[in-house]
Amino acid sequence: MGKQRKAHIISHTHWDREWYLPYEKHHVRLIELMDTLLETMEKEPEYKYFFLDGQTIILEDYLQVRPEKKEQLDALIHEGRIRIGPWYILQDAFLTSSEANVRNMQIGHQDAEKYGTVSKIGYFPDTFGLAGQTPQLMVQSGIDNAFFGRGVKRRVLTTPSRMATSSPPSRS
């Protein structure tokens, strides 16, 4: 028998604000998801962590409908049980300009800092590629990693399951 490996399962969501359904239908699904998440975290303390898809706009959209949940949400984020940021909206490097990518990161950090801690995960769950400046943006944002889920060829997913990338140094 081979060497035992350890697997980590991270509870999270992948939430498209608007994609194959109109915003309003996705919004209803978000409210149901967040209501269930908050109830689960309250009733089951062993349910320790949830990663909120790397975007802070989810909080805005949820509290628009459930403002009475702000205190509970604040507490879970401050306790580190719900991880938020670093983006404002779900990042897709090729659908927006470079400037929009930078602003997305800046606004996400500003929003997350209001709640306490910014998640320092370069999170790209559904991107169709990464821009050449992605490593530079990550480093300038204090992030030394990236997790992404599309476009990885099967041969890359063998041991070790890591890739190294770099971009030109930034100019001050």
pLDDT tens-place string over residues 87-132: 999 887 666 788 888 999 999 999 999 998 899 998 888 777 777 7
Q: Which residues contact 18 (CB under 8 A, 6 or more apart)?
A: 26
Query: What radius of gyration do the chain's Cα atoms show?
Result: 17
Residue 159 confidence (pLDDT): 52
**Which one from 16, 74, 92, 126 is the annotated catalytic residue?**
126
**Contact 57/17 with Cβ under 8 angstroms?**
yes
Residue 21 confidence (pLDDT): 87
CA dihedral 131, 132, 135, 136 (to 10 degrees): -110
Residue 133 confidence (pLDDT): 82
Residue 34 confidence (pLDDT): 97
Residue 9 confidence (pLDDT): 81
Closest Cα partner for 84 from 125, 56, 64? Answer: 56
Residue 18 confidence (pLDDT): 78
Residue 141 confidence (pLDDT): 94
Q: Is 35 a catalytic residue?
A: no
Residue 26 pLDDT level (bands cut at 50, 70, 90): very high
Residue where the block lists tokens 């001050």: 172
Q: Is the model's pTM score more than 0.95? A: no
